[in-house]
């Protein structure tokens, strides 16, 4: 039997998953130590690269290049389905997890000496807003460009070379590892939040490791079946359902707390965020370097970890849109939605009667935040259950998309291959569930992303050269 790239990728990935599964503590400790060294060495480099990517995207939006269409056909999906899919695949589950916890936690941030909610929201938006979505947008744009304009295959390596060789295959394998670690970390965190939610509903600690394992297996079955059903059925349906449920929950919380005070807070937050960005986008205050590494840099690398899968997935669903439409849609719309979400949940937490309880809960355990917040509502059980359902569907959609992209990258989209990649992802997640450490999950999630930062730079160079070639050819005509 001929050994294919898919066989090699699977063999290496299964080997990694087995090491994590058999030696969970030792494997995670090793990853944690390696990531710690890299963060302390390259923290400023990572920050500068991501901020430069955002500036490049903004320049492309206002430049004549923005009018170039990606492909020669009309968009395959409606605007609603398009935004729903990219949002659900990008970070939907994270908003449910961190919507209350992160703004409240950043009240005590060294970057927020006045303990002001506006600054706390600006720090949160710095992690979740323009910088985060520009990573996805840039990665997706480069892939879409070489696929639809140059006729290359839709892989990460095709953005560098149209020829298949050992180097390009290693690039795609690197992307596969980045996806596996990134999504596994998110899966583990989401399961921790679901466990906390159910324990808070039953008002006692009754769910442990066995429950986390059973829940993971249940979610794995659903996202595998959804992936097998295809992009237009499983992913599109779940993404649209996600957005509808999230919008309804957002509206109910908004009207419960108050539209006028939250709207006022939003516009204040918007102005504060804009003025905050230049201060933190290119330099790290040495006095607060450790905090910046453990929060800002980890977050930026987490989005880079998701870039191979989110970028390729976004490129796949964005054929027929102009560069300007693509960038505004991928960066602007989700950033705006994320800001509204954090204002309603994080900012809203500062307006309810159990504000001090929420603060204590978040400082004790991130996963307690959203459920403590719902205790201030008339029907806390209903709100908690709705958020859990929303979280589960978001997680399923993200994992579903990751399995699809991994199959594409390894050049084998058969149902059996998708099932195998689902199993590998579950194996790594199982090791993380054993440790059940939210901060550690974040670190493991970025492990595969570190080399990918430098790959993004290389992709950007090839994209710029290709873009300028077209511009030069048009001028000659």
State the average pLDDT for the chain: 83
Give me the residue label for tokens 């099932």. Answer: 419
Backbone φ and ψ of 413, nearest 5°: -100, 25
At 361, list the tokens.
């809960």
Tens of pLDDT along 196-247?
777 777 666 656 778 888 888 888 887 777 666 655 555 667 667 777 888 8
From the CB of residue 283, how many other CB atoms can be counted at a distance below 10 Å?
12
List, for the chain, all residue ranges whose pLDDT scores fall below the cut of 70.
1-7, 86-93, 202-207, 226-236, 238-239, 413, 438-440, 471-477
Q: How far apart are CA 300 and CA 472, in angstroms?
A: 34
Per-residue pLDDT tens over the stretch 169-181: 778 877 887 777 7
- Residue 426 has a pLDDT of 83
In the DSSP assignment, the letter for residue 230 is -
What's the pLDDT score for residue 264? Answer: 95
Q: Which domains does the chain have, with CATH numbers?
A: 5-464 (1.20.1740)
Q: What is the pLDDT of residue 1?
A: 45
Ramachandran class of 275: left when φ > 0, alpha when ψ lies in -120 to 50, beta otherwise: alpha
Interacting residues of 210 by C-beta distance below 8 A, sequence separation 6+: none
Residue 235, pLDDT score: 60
Distance CA 240, CA 246 (A): 10
> What count of other Cβ atoms lies within 10 Å of the Cβ of residue 171?
24
**Contact yes or no for 290/43 (Cβ under 8 A):** no
Q: What is the pLDDT of residue 229?
A: 65
């Amino acid at each position: 039997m001929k050994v294919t790239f898919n066989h090699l990728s699977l063999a290496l990935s299964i080997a990694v998953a087995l090491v994590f599964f058999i030696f969970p503590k030792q494997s995670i400790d090793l990853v944690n130590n390696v990531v710690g060294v890299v963060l302390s060495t390259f923290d400023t480099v990572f920050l500068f690269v991501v901020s430069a990517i955002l500036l490049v995207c903004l320049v492309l939006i206002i430049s004549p290049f923005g009018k170039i269409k990606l492909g020669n056909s009309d968009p395959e999906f409606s605007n609603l389905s398009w935004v729903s899919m990219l949002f659900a695949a990008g970070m939907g589950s994270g908003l449910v997890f961190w919507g209350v916890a992160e703004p409240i936690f950043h009240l005590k941030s060294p970057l927020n000496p006045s303990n002001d909610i506006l600054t706390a929201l600006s720090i949160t938006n710095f992690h979740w807003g323009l910088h985060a979505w520009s990573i996805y947008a840039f990665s997706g744009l480069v892939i879409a460009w070489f696929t639809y304009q140059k006729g290359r295959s839709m892989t990460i390596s095709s953005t560098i070379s149209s020829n298949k060789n050992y180097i390009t295959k290693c690039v795609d394998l690197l992307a596969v590892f980045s996806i596996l670690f990134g999504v596994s970390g998110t899966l583990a965190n989401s399961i921790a939040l679901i466990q906390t939610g159910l324990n808070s509903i039953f008002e006692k600690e009754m769910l442990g490791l066995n429950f986390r394992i059973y829940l993971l297996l249940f979610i794995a079955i659903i996202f595998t079946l959804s992936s097998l059903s295809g992009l237009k059925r499983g992913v599109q349906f779940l993404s649209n359902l996600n957005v509808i449920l999230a919008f309804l929950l957002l509206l109910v919380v908004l009207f419960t707390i108050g539209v006028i005070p939250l709207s006022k807070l939003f516009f204040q937050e918007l102005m504060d965020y804009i003025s905050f960005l230049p201060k933190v986008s290119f330099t790290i205050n040495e006095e607060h370097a450790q905090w910046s590494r453990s929060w800002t840099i980890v977050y930026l690398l987490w989005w880079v970890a998701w870039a191979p899968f989110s970028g390729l997935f976004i490129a796949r669903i964005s054929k027929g849109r102009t560069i300007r439409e693509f960038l505004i849609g991928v960066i602007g719309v989700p950033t705006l939605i994320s800001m509204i979400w954090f204002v309603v949940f994080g900012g809203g937490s500062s307006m309810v009667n159990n504000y001090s309880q929420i603060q204590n809960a978040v400082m004790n355990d991130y996963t307690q935040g959203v459920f403590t917040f719902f205790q201030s509502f008339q029907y806390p059980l209903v709100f908690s259950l709705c958020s859990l359902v929303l979280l589960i569907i978001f997680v399923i959609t993200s994992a579903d998309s990751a399995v699809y992209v991994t199959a594409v990258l390894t050049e084998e989209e058969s149902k059996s291959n998708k099932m195998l990649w689902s199993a590998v992802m579950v194996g790594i997640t199982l090791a993380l569930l054993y440790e059940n450490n939210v901060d550690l999950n974040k670190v493991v999630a970025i492990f595969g992303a570190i080399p990918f930062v430098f790959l993004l730079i290389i992709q950007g160079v090839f994209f710029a050269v290709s873009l300028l070639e077209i511009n030069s050819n048009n001028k000659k005509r």
